[in-house]
Amino acid sequence: MQIDPKDCMDRAFYFGSYEQHLVHLIAATVRPGDVCIDVGAQRGFVTLHLGKAVGADGQVFAFEPDPRAMEALTSNVQRNGFGHVRLYSCALGDRDASCRFALSHQLGWSSRFPNDLAKPAVASTISVWTRRLDDIMAEADIVPETHRISFIKIDAEGSEPLVLQGAQNTLQRFLPIVHVEVNKGSLRAGGFSVNSIEGLLRSLGYKLYAMRARGFGSLRSRFDVIPIASLATETGECQDILAVHASNEWRLQELHKRFIMPSPAKSATKRSAAG
C-alpha cells in the first residue's frame, strides 16, 4: 500500500498493528483458489490481504462507494498486480437502487447513515448505486459446485443489515465465515437495532462470537474466541463480531491450530470506538 507516514491509520498499516485479529483470521481460514468478499474496502488493507491469501487462482470482490477511497483502492490493487481482485464502486444493500451517501472528511467514516460522532465530519453528499451481493455472485457465475466462498468482511458504517438482507442466498449456499462490524450508533442512525444483524444471522444457522486479543503489545498476539448470547447486552458501542455457521464450527478448530485460542463461553469484552 502507498503509505502516508503522517496518517495514524497508515502507520498502523505499516507496523502491522491494525486489526491484527482480522489479519490472523484471513491467514487461518482463506486458502488459495477461494472466493472472498470485502464490503467497505476503503483503501484496500483487507482486500490486499485477501488477494494474497486466495492467490491468482482465487477471486476477491471488493466494494467501496466512496470515490476517493476507490481511487486509492484501485491504485493499491494495481500496485500489487492483483488482476484477480474485482472492484465495484457501489454500495451493497437489499435492492438495486440509488441512495444518498455522506462523504466524510475522515476517510473511512463515509456512510449512508452517519452517526452522531460522524455527522460533524460530513463534507458533502453524493448519490451512489446499491446492489445485492446475491445478484453480483449470480452474474459472476460463482456457484458452490465450482467455488468456495470462505470469508466475507462487512464494514458498512450502519448498512450491515441491508448488506446481509441482500446476501442471504450467498450465505445459505456457501456458509462462509462472516466478519461484521456492529456499530450501534450507525445502526440507530439508519433506523436499525442490533437484532437486525443478529436475528438474520441466527435465522440462517449462524453462531456469533467476539474476539479478544491477548498481549496487545505483541505483533504475534493470540486471541480468545468468545460466544455471544446477545449483541444488545454483550457488545460495546462499536465491536467486530465473527459469525460461523453451526455446521462449520469445526472451522474454529482450524483457527485454534493457527492463531487463536478458544476459551470457555463467557460474555464478550466491551470496547468503544468513534468510527
Closest Cα to residue 232, out of 202, 205, 253? 202
The class (CATH top level) of 8-258 is alpha beta
Q: What is the phi/psi pair of residue 216, to 5°?
A: -60, -25
pLDDT digits (tens, 9 = 90+) for 160-208: 999 999 999 999 999 999 999 999 999 999 999 999 999 999 999 999 9
Compute the C-alpha angle 17/18/21, nearest 5°: 90
Q: Would you list the domain boundaries of the chain? A: 8-258
Cα separation, 57 vs 55, whole angstroms? 5
Q: Which is more confidently placed, 25 or 166? A: 166
Q: For the packed helices 45-54 and 67-79, what is the interaxial angle rounded to 10 degrees?
A: 30
| Contact present, 2 and 79 (Cβ < 8 Å) | yes
Q: pLDDT band for 256, please (50, 70, 90 cuts).
A: low
- Burial call 226-242: b when 16+ CB within 10 Å, e when fewer: bbbeebeebbebbbbbb
Cα separation, 66 vs 111, whole angstroms? 9
DSSP-derived secondary structure for 120-189: GGEEEEEEEEEE-HHHHHHHTT--TTT--EEEEEE--TT-HHHHHHTTHHHHHHH--EEEEEEEHHHHHH
Q: Which residue has the cell 484501485?
A: 74
pLDDT digits (tens, 9 = 90+) for 66-75: 999 999 999 9
pLDDT digits (tens, 9 = 90+) for 47-65: 999 999 999 999 999 999 9
How many percent of the chain have pLDDT more than 90?
66
Cα separation, 142 vs 134, whole angstroms? 10
Using CA atoms of 111, 114, 118, 122 in order, give the dihedral in degrees to the nearest 10.
Answer: 70
Q: pLDDT band for 217, please (50, 70, 90 cuts).
A: low
Cα separation, 112 vs 191, whole angstroms? 11
pTM of the model: 0.89
